[in-house]
Amino acid sequence: MHIVLTGNTTFKLANFRAGLVQRLIAAGYRVTVLAPPDDYVGAVRDMGCDFVPLSMDRNGTSPIAELALLISIFRTLRRLRPTFVFGYTIKNNIYAGLACRLLGIPFAANVTGLGPAFNDGGLLNGVVRILYRAAFRRAEAVFFQNESDRDIFLAGHLVPSDRVRLLPGSGVNLTRFAFQPVPPHNGSIRFLLVARMLWDKGVGIFADAAEQVRRTHPEALFQLLGPLDPDSKTGIGQHQIDQWVEEGRLVYLGSAADVRPAIEQAHCIVLPSYYREGTPRTLLEAGATGRPAITSDMPGCRDPIAAGVSGILVRPRDSEDLARACVEFLGMSHTAQVEMGRAARERMERDYDERIVIDAYMSLLDGHGFA
C-alpha cells in the first residue's frame, strides 16, 4: 500500500503531519511526500518517507505555469500509482484532485483555509470555485477545519455533501506540547505572535497595538517569531521589521525550527490574523502548552478559543481593540492568567488532540478497503 501526501511546503508536511506519517508507516504503508523542496527534506526522509520534489509557485496565477503544475502532478502520480492521495493546501488540493480524478486514484482533500481568493471577489474567485468543484467531485472525502469553510463550500455546491468531514484543525501533539503553567511576571509580560511575516496574518496590527500598549505599560514586551516570506504578495520586508524594532515597539526573534521554548517563555499568544485560516496551528500549540490567546473573531481563529475562558477575541483589522485586549490581559492577576491557560489546555485535550485527526484518516482508509 502506497500513500502520497502533497502540499505546498515540505516544512508543513514534516511538522504538521508527522503523527500521521508515523501512524501510516507503523501500519505498513509506504509514504511519499510530493512537495517543493526546502530545509525539511531531510526531516521527511528521516521519518521514513520517500520524497519527490515538486516545482511550483504557491502564490502565482500565470495560466501557463498553473497548467504546467497540473501536468507535473498528473505525470508524477501516473508514475507512482499510489493507493491513495491526501492533498493539503489550495493548489495541491485542486491539481492533485483533478489528476486523481483522471487517473482513477482515490483522493482526499484537506481544506486548511480558504486563502486570499475567497477574501476577494472577481475573476480569480470564480475560477478557483470552478476548479474546486471539478477537483472534489470524485473525492473520497473532503476534510474541513472549521464550520464556516465547510458551509461556504456546501452553499456554493463545490463539494458533494456526503463527502464532507469536519476535523479539529490538524490537531496538536499533546505530549510534544506539554502543559507548562504561565510563567511568573518578573517585571514583564510577554505577548508572542508566531506566524510567517505577512500583513494578513495581522503582524502590522500587532506592531501598532504594541506601540499603543507600551505608551502606558512599558512592562509589556511584544515578540515576533517566524520566517520572512518574500514570495508572498503580503510579505513584510526585513526593513519594516527593523523599523519596528528600532522604534521600540517589539522584538523580532527570527525563525525557529522548534517554537516550544518561545511559547513556554511567553505569557500570552497573539494572532490578529484576517487571513482565511483553517484552524491556526499556532493557537493549538499555544493552548496545549497552557497559554491563553488573543486572536481575531474570524472563522478558524475563533474556533479553538472559549472567549473569556481560554482567551480573548478581538475585532479583525482593529489595532485599538487588540491593544484593549492586551491591556485587559495585563490587568489580570497571575493566578487568573494561569487558570485561563489551564482552560486552554483542557480544551485542547478534549477537542484538538491530533489522534482525533489521525484516527479520521485511518478510518477513511479502512472504510474504503485501503487498510
Q: Which domains does the chain have, with CATH numbers?
A: 2-171+353-367 (3.40.50.2000), 189-351 (3.40.50.2000)
Which residue's C-alpha cell is 518574500?
230
Inter-CA distances, 274 with 72, 271, 301, Å: 32, 9, 9
Q: What is the pLDDT of residue 114?
A: 80
Alpha-carbon gap, residue 192 to 186, rounded angstroms:
17
β-pairing verdict for 293-296 and 2-6: unpaired
Q: What is the pLDDT of residue 370?
A: 60
Cα R_g (the chain), whole angstroms: 21
Q: What is the pLDDT of residue 118?
A: 66
Q: What is the pLDDT of residue 121?
A: 63
Q: For 90, what's the count of Cα atoms within 13 Å in the CB-facing half-sphere?
A: 21
- For the chain, the 3-state helix, strand and coil shares in percent, each to the nearest 5, are 45, 20, 35
Q: What is the pLDDT of residue 217?
A: 97
The four Cα atoms 95, 97, 102, 105 give a dihedral, to 10 degrees, of 130
The one-character DSSP state at 148 is: H
- Is 0.75 topped by the overall pTM? yes
Alpha-carbon gap, residue 102 to 268, rounded angstroms:
48
Q: What is the pLDDT of residue 271?
A: 98
| Closest C-alpha among 358, 369, 370, 298 to residue 16 | 358
pLDDT digits over 149-178, tens only?
999 999 999 999 999 999 988 899 999 999
Which residue's C-alpha cell is 512537495?
35
Q: What is the pLDDT of residue 336?
A: 97
| Closest C-alpha among 196, 205, 210 to residue 256 | 196
Q: What is the pLDDT of residue 169?
A: 86
Q: What is the pLDDT of residue 369?
A: 65
Which residue's C-alpha cell is 486548511?
112
Q: What is the pLDDT of residue 329?
A: 98
Q: What is the pLDDT of residue 60?
A: 83
Q: Which three cell numbers stand for residue 6?
A: 502533497
Q: What is the pLDDT of residue 137?
A: 94
Low-confidence ranges of the chain (pLDDT < 70): 116-121, 368-371
Alpha-carbon gap, residue 249 to 215, rounded angstroms:
10
